[in-house]
Amino acid sequence: MTAITEQRDWSTGRRDWSAGLARRTHSLGGGEITAILALAGATDVITFSGGFPDPATFPAGLLAGIASRLITEDAGVALQYSATEGLAGVRDYVSGRLGSLEGRPPGGGELMITSGGIDCMELLAKSFVDPGDVVVVEAPTYLGAIMAFRGYEADVRGVPVDGAGLRVEVLAGLLAGGLRPKILYTIPDFQNPTGLSMSAERRAELVALARRYGFLIAEDVAYRELGFGSAPPPSLWSLAPDVVLQAGTFSKIFFPGVRLGWAAGPDEIIATLVVAKQNSDQCSGALGQRMLEEFGRSGHLDRQIVKSRALYARRAALTSAALAEHMPEGTTWTAPEGGFYIWLTAPGGVDTVALSAAARDKKVAYVPGRPFYPGDDGLAQIRLAYSRVADDLIDEGVRRIGEVLRTALGEK
Ligand SMILES: Cc1ncc(COP(=O)(O)O)c(C=O)c1O
């Protein structure tokens, strides 16, 4: 074994820490998320890159009043550690909300508060994934989830999606051929990155497969409440609470600065995740939990969600119209019915990773498709997040991306 301290560049005196990195970090990636977050405050770039909610949806005035009142009148709770599974009142509020949204409230031990959606995936991977365990994901999928499972050395396999979501018949074929996943991770509603949803028929087939082959479905409902039209089909968790762990987040419907979400699932699994959380952040912040509860119980959250849906529906429509106007011949893209994203496929083997630099020169940013796959696909694809681009910049931003693609195609 090489001691970390021996890896020193004597000309500069700097130590090379990389030699000591744990094996589990080797295939992690993560540069894309760092790049997205680095652009969070950029003002001179039209950025379609991060899945950020629009700050216009942040209820700053109301929150200032709530926070001030909590700090003055409820400091003993709001400024204190909370129980690891979340404050009792907040769990009661979230449980009631799930009951009315999903037709079934979780039982006492079936719900915990998490620090956002990614916390649930991290706790799940930490508790259930041994090196080499198979985790099936949609291809493409949310890259943070791929990273969470890879972080515990899962063997992450992709199953393709189409306009009706995960291709469950492909999964069924793999299972019949001997594949034995421990976990299947899916985003059934307005998926990241495609914006597409899983049909009701496939949901029923998927839970039947989970029961038959004994795997856990991790259902990520990050965008479920942000549909533009009719309600999505029943959640997987409401269909099969015995084999589904639902991961929810308040990041997209309340605000991400609060880092809050929930996990609902079989009580044995929730109890295990609660233990795992004790040595990560121990508990989600009590001040944020109480703010959510106050905001939610007074009806503000549900009213805000109605406004957010209209805002994102308008942005999606503007982006689609701009794509129709500016994309080169042969480019295709999805038509989302909710959420934050449009997924674009460029023609002729365009390399969207290589083109990101040209896009940045034109002061426009997107995320190339590649990191959304566990394998090597996605080279000609792009994820466009329209959620935070001002209405009057959407057309210009899309025009610039079109120009980058046209130039690349012309040079071929
Ligand atoms: C599908 C999905 N799940 C989870 C998350 C992470 O949510 P949070 O910020 O609450 O951790 C995101 C964020 O982009 C997402 O797109």
Site to probe by mutation for ligand 1, drawn from 146, 219, 251 as the one with most ligand atoms within 8 Å of Cβ, is 251
pLDDT at 367 over 50: yes
Q: Find the mean pLDDT for residues 224-237.
A: 96
**Residue 92, pLDDT above cutoff 90:** yes
Q: What is the pLDDT of residue 8?
A: 66
Structure tokens at 394: 């959407």
pLDDT tens for each residue of 178-192: 999 999 999 999 999
- Mean pLDDT (whole number) for 122-144: 97
Contacting residues for 142 by C-beta, under 8 A, at least 6 apart: 187, 192, 193, 220, 222, 372
Per-residue model confidence (pLDDT) at position 33: 64
387 lines ligand 1 (CB under 6 A): no
The Å distance, Cα 339 to ligand 1 centre, comes to 12
Q: Look at ligand 1, atom 13, and give the residue with the nearest C-alpha.
A: 51
- The distance of Cα 169 from the centroid of its chain, to the nearest Å, equals 24
Please report the sign of the dihedral spanned by the C-alpha atoms of residue 100, residue 105, residue 111, residue 117. negative
In Å, how far from its chain's centre is CA 160? 18
CA–CA dist 38, 32 (Å, integer): 10
| Centre of ligand 1 from the C-alpha of residue 126, in Å | 18
Determine how β-strand 244-249 pairs with β-strand 261-264. Answer: antiparallel
- Shortest-distance atom of ligand 1 to CA 251: 10
Indicate which residue's Cα is closest to atom 14 of ligand 1. Answer: 51
Cross-strand pairs, 183:
135, 216
Determine phi and psi for 43, rounding to 5 degrees.
-110, -20
Q: Quick one: which of 348, 116, 393, 140 has its CA closest to 255? A: 116
Query: Among the atoms of ligand 1, which is closest to the Cα of residue 260?
Result: 10
Q: Is the pLDDT of residue 394 over 50?
A: yes
Q: How much distance in Å is there from the Cα of 241 to the middle of ligand 1? A: 22
Confidence check: pLDDT of 392 > 80: yes
pLDDT score for 298? 97
Phi, psi of 88 (to 5 degrees): -60, -45
pLDDT of residue 6: 55
* Per-residue pLDDT, 349: 81
Ligand 1 midpoint to CA 15 (Å): 35
Pocket test for ligand 1, best of 120, 142, 224 (most atoms within 8 A of CB): 142
Q: Is the CB of 221 under 6 A from ligand 1?
A: no
pTM, rounded to two decimals: 0.94
Q: Using the mean position of ligand 1's atoms as its centre, give its distance from the Cα of residue 145 in Å.
A: 9
Lowest-confidence segment of 2-11, 78-87, 326-335, 360-369 by average pLDDT: 2-11
- Let me know: does 402 contact 330? Beta carbons within 8 Å: no
CB of 341 within 6 A of ligand 1: the answer is: no
Beta strands of 6-109 (E only): which ranges?
8-9, 14-15, 46-47
Residue 187 Cα: closest atom of ligand 1? 1
Write out the two tokens for 277: 């959380």
The span from the CA of 276 to the CA of 270, in Å, is 10
Burial class (CB in 10 A: 0-12, 13-18, 19+), 317: middle
The string over 166-184, giving b where at least 16 C-beta atoms fall within 10 Å of a residue's C-beta and e elsewhere, is bbbeebbeebeeeeebbbb
| Centre of ligand 1 from the C-alpha of residue 324, in Å | 29
Q: Is the pLDDT of residue 1 over 50?
A: no
Give the mean pLDDT of 107-132. Answer: 97
Which of 110-114, 188-192, 273-277, 355-359 shows the lowest per-residue confidence on average (mean pLDDT)?
A: 355-359
Q: What is the mean pLDDT of the chain?
A: 94
Does the CB atom of residue 192 touch ligand 1 within 6 A? yes
117 lines ligand 1 (CB under 6 A): yes
Q: How confident is the model at residue 3 (pLDDT cuts 50, 70, 90)?
A: low
Nearest CA to ligand 1 atom 10: 116
Residue nearest to atom 4 of ligand 1 (CA): 117
Q: Mean of the pLDDT values across residues 364-380?
A: 94
Instruction: List pLDDT tens digits, range 41-64.
Output: 677 899 999 999 999 999 999 999
The reported pLDDT for the residue numbered 4 is: 55
Q: Is the CB of 246 under 6 A from ligand 1?
A: no
For residue 36, CA distances in Å to 48, 239, 366, 368 come to: 9, 35, 9, 11
Residue nearest to atom 2 of ligand 1 (CA): 222
pLDDT band at 16 (very low <50, low <70, confident <90, very high): confident
CA distance 276 to 269: 11
